[in-house]
Amino acid sequence: MVLSELKEGQTATIVRVGGNGILRRRILEMGILKGTDVYVEKYAPLKDPMELIVKGYHISLRVEEAAQITVNNVR
């Protein structure tokens, strides 16, 4: 399952961060690393971007970027 498929209020564990180059590095620098839990706080009114809580920080990601991140253990 990919991060962009999660609904508001769900939590999951990062399995893999895809993409290449600058985009992937930027996502990793924000703390979205393998094994990290991520909570979907909310989506913007038009469903893009989405707000996540990672390690206590609020992060906004475009749905297109979130589709590059594979997750499991959805709860």
Rounded CA gap, 56 and 45, in Å? 23
- Structure confidence by residue, pLDDT tens digits, 31-45: 999 999 999 999 999
Residue 19 above 90 pLDDT? Answer: no
Residue 54 CB neighbours (<10 A): 17
Q: What is the pTM of this model?
A: 0.91
Residue 20 banded pLDDT, cuts 50, 70, 90: confident
Q: Report the DSSP beta bridge partners of residue 17.
A: 69
Rounded CA gap, 32 and 17, in Å? 8
Q: Which conformational region is residue 30 in: left (phi greater than 0), alpha (psi within -120 to 50 degrees), or beta? A: alpha
Q: Which domains does the chain have, with CATH numbers?
A: 3-72 (2.30.30.90)
